[in-house]
Every structure is written in C-alpha cells, then in structure tokens.
Amino acid sequence: MRDVVTQSPVAGHLADRRAQLIIALAVFAALAFVPKLVSDVYVMNVLILTLLFAALSQSWNILGGYCGQVSLGHALYFGIGAYTTSLLFVKFGIMPWVGLATGGMLAALVALVLGYPCFRLKGHYFSIATIVIAEIGLLLVHNWDYAGAALGIQWPFGRDSWWTLQFARDKAPYFYFVLGLFAVVWLVTFSIVESRWGYWWRAVKDNPEAAESLGVTVFHSKMAAAGVSAFFTAIGGGFYAAFVSYIDPESVMQFRFSLLMALPAVLGGVGSLWGPAVGALILIPLAEFTRSYMGGTGSGLDLAVYGALIMVVSLTRPEGLLSIFDQSARRRTAS
C-alpha cells in the first residue's frame, strides 16, 4: 500500500499565496507589452481609463470590500488629489510627482478627520454621510475662486516629459504610469490581506461586536483602512488631472466618480484581489464605447445597456463575477 503524503494547511496556503503572486507578476508583465500592440489613440485612452479605475476600485475595495465600510464619497479624495496636484503645478511650478504625494497624504489626513465622526455611524447611515460630505466638498470647490471656481484649472502645455507628466504625442507613458499604480495598489492589498490588519478588517466586516470582544480595536481598524484607501484614490486623482490637463469641480468630484470606484468591485467581487480589475475591465470599456457610439443618439441607450448589465449580474451573481470561478474550482475539487 503506497504512502499518502498530505500537505499541511499552512503549507498549502503559502503555496497558494506564491501562486497568486506569480500569476499577478505575469499579468503585469504581459500588460506592459500592450502599448506595443495598440496603435489606436482612442483604444489606448480606454485602456488607460480601465487600468486607472481598476486601481481606484481596488483602493475603494480596501475600505468597502475588506473592512465592510461602504463609502460612496470617494470622489472627495479623488478631487483632493486632482486639485492638489494641479494647484501646486499651475500656481507654484511644483512638479506633479510632488503633487501626487502631497495630495495622497492630504487625502489620507482628511479621511482620518472625517472618519472620527463618520465611523460612529453604521450601515447605510455611514454611506449617506459619505455622500453628503462629498457633495459639500463639491460645492466648496465650486465657489473657491483661487482654484478657478466653476471654470476649473487649465494645465500649461509643455514638451513631453516624465518630469511634468505631460505627453501629447504618445499615450504609452500614461499607460505605464497607471499600470504601475495598479500594480502597487494590488501588491499593497495582497500584502495587507494576510497581515494582522487584514484579519482585523475582515473581522470588523463580518461582526464588529464579536471582533471587539476578541481584542480588535474596531475604530482604529476602520481609520487605518480609510487612510490607505484615500491615499491611493488621491494619487489616482492627481494622475487623472495630468492625463486630461484640465479639471473643474464637475470633472473630478461628481458623484459618478464615487460610483465608478465602487461598481467595478461590486461587479467583480468585493473583498477579493482581482474583483475590482475584472469589474473595471467590463464596465469602463462598456461605458466608454456605448457613450461614444450610442450616447449621441439622444435615446439614452448607452445608459440602458450599462444599467441592464449591472442589474443582470447583481441578480444572478450577487457575490460578483469571480464567484463563477470559485464555484467551478469547488466542483473540480469535489469531483
């Protein structure tokens, strides 16, 4: 009779983690070749926006997916990053790289300040509070004359340079930047998920009272998740300002930006490493293509297609599209 060697759960878990990391690095490396294969400027713009919102949705997923705090006001942090980077560059000549870091830290600080009262609310009350605060921020910027008020801020045109993050002739540098941002956010999430903070966040999401009885500091856990989430969201906002070279309150702080950060994670699977990327890969190209080819008809067909897809997936796969692969894996294991 042959000996059967069983793998310990810990060793199996570590092997799964290594496999996930190897697959992720392979995906990032493969994506780096995309600009060599795509020559159409419009398609490249869609790919850049897809990766951007994959990174933003993963940032939202840290707070909403892993910690269970459904924020619908992340447009505030996106706008903070965009306006900080733009003001420092346009008004003071400070390079966007400094603006990105400054905007990220400022957004994290704002998230901590706002988290003190907001995290004392629960469930939908917290979500409503985030919407209200983001709308207040939008109104304040609308009346902020130094930042151009409703007219916004126009970036000065210059030669193509990584130093100023301006590229008019070739969009590939923007693609590589946002690919790097997505990779960093993914790797940070990957490292946190199995750390003490990651276990605390999931415990807070599942049952805050039980987590607190076991020694988890619920309030501090939520604050940490909010700070990390806001930091990366603001960096995405700063990049977006450099990418479009012009911002105004409506273009970076509208409520739709908060939805576009949350919906990919919801569609792909909240609380998962690849759910936001899968959701963004479907929603962002769909939104861009339908708006381009059907938005001008005046029929609203683009919005109907977009909403119908979300409704179908929500009704058939409430746990997200990645649950399809999880169920397939369980069936193979059982068989």
Q: pLDDT tens-digit profile of 267-296?
A: 898 989 999 999 999 989 988 887 777 665
Mean pLDDT, all residues of the chain? 88
Q: What is the per-residue pLDDT across 242-267, written as a single tens digit (0 to 9) for each?
A: 999 999 999 999 998 998 999 899 88
Could you tell me the pTM of the whole model?
A: 0.91
Measure the CA–CA gap between 153 and 76, rounded to whole angstroms.
17
- The DSSP element (H or E) to which 153 belongs, if any, is strand 153-154
CA-nearest of 243, 77, 52 to 164 is 243
What is the per-residue pLDDT for 2?
Answer: 46
Residue linked to tokens 């020694």: 215
- The DSSP element (H or E) to which 64 belongs, if any, is none
* Correct CATH for 10-334 of 1.10.3470, 1.20.950, 1.10.3430, 1.10.357: 1.10.3470
